[in-house]
Homo-oligomer: A and B are copies of this chain.
Amino acid sequence: MQTDVHINTLVIVGPGLIGGSVAAALKKHQRVERVIGVGRNPASLEHARSLGLIDEVLPLAEATAQADMILLAMPVGATATVLAELSPHLRPHTVVTDAGSTKADVVAAVYQTLPKAQWPQFVPAHPIAGSEATGPEAASAELYVDRKVILTPTEHTASWAVKPVSALWESCGARILRMDADTHDRVLASVSHVPHFLSAVYMWQVASAQDAECRLDVAGSGFRDFTRIAAGSAEVWRDIFLSNREAVLAELKAVREAFEQAETALADADADQLERFLERAALARRLWGSRSGLR
């Protein structure tokens, strides 16, 4: 495990929950000299500065010209625009990385907007951590402790660029996994995007019912847990679904088939089939809970 990263000038584009938490962790462990914040919302940037997450605020071009590492932590839909804008100012040994929830579209944006000579400098990454809370005020030096970060370097990514990105996330307390961008998107469609979709569909259906008030009045802790993710930012999740549309649709199809199979067992009052499916789900979830450290 390599954790001896030290960054002179780190630029964070969008220092909210995700980027601000990286800054908080690196500062706590004295892994960074100076953090420059870049963003479109002056009040949020000023807030990040008053919280000590960033040291100064600069326009993207100026910040890029001084950066040793650039972390893109704004919504994933803005990646191509930001890359096109920073590219002319990028020094040859600056590492650029991101924290987007989808990876194939980020890699495509790199190929479309950066000249080929800069492709080695870009390290696509996705920290599996988050919260319904947003903004720099929700940032925490502990957000990534014991969480996983997936790196999806391409055939063009330089190993000298991957190393400090790995080390950065390890300094935040995270564990590194590596896979290709398509595998990442397929797997995340299954374990992150589809749960959000189902939770939101369900919450929408309940809230649209005529007797919604009465329903919501008796909802308990199971409802609370099941719907927690549905409170997440609609804008962020719209972008995630659109960015990873095909993989999500493929998973939704598989889930709908499982849904209909279980629904048929219930319609037929097939107690054995119903118990088999519930038992398999319960065992798999308990096993995951004891293995994942995320009970």
Tell me, rounded to whole Å, the shortest Cβ–Cβ distance linking A210 to chain B.
Answer: 11
Residue of B nearest to A229 (CB): B222
Q: Which residue of B lies closest to A221 (CB)?
A: B294
Contact between chains at A206 and B191 (CB < 8 Å): yes
**Chain A 225-265 per-residue mask, 1 if CB under 8 angstroms from chain B, else 0:** 11111111111011001100100110010111011001100
Within 8 Å by CB of A187, from B198, B215, B230, B267, lies B215
- Given A221-B130, A288-B216, A200-B237 contact (CB < 8 Å): no
Residue of B with least CB distance to A267: B249
Does B222 contact A196, Cβ atoms closer than 8 Å?
Answer: yes
Interface assignment of A89: CB less than 8 Å from any CB of chain B? no
- With contacts A218-B150, A221-B294, A222-B130 taken as known, whether A281 is within 8 angstroms of B230 at the C-beta atoms is yes
* Closest Cβ–Cβ distance, residue A172 to chain B (whole Å): 15
Any B CB within 8 A of the CB of A202: yes
Check if A204 is an interface residue, CB within 8 A of chain B: yes
Q: Which of A258-290 contact B (CB under 8 A)?
A: 258-259, 262-263, 266-267, 269, 271, 274-275, 277-282, 284-286, 288-289
Question: Does any Cβ of B come within 8 Å of A201's Cβ?
Answer: yes
Number of identical protomers: 2
B205 touches A285 (CB 8 A): no
Interface flag for A30 (CB, 8 Å) = no
A2 at the interface (CB under 8 A from B): no
Tell me the bound Cα distance from A252 to B265 in angstroms.
13
**Cβ–Cβ < 8 Å partners of A194 in chain B:** 202
A203 within 8 Å of B (CB atoms): yes
**Chain B contacts for A233, CB-based, 8 A:** 282
- Cβ contact of A294, chosen from B197, B205, B206, B224, cutoff 8 A: B224
| Given known contacts A201-B262, A231-B289, A263-B252, A206 and B190 CB-to-CB distance under 8 angstroms | yes
Tell me the minimal C-beta distance from A281 to chain B in angstroms.
4
Q: Which 8 A-B pairs have the closest CB atoms?
A: A207-B284, A234-B278, A234-B279, A200-B281, A203-B281, A128-B220, A191-B219, A205-B258
Name A's B-contacting residues (CB within 8 A). Answer: 128-130, 147-148, 150, 177, 179, 183, 187-188, 190-192, 194-209, 211-212, 214-235, 237-238, 241-242, 245, 248-249, 252, 254-256, 258-259, 262-263, 266-267, 269, 271, 274-275, 277-282, 284-286, 288-289, 291-292, 294-295
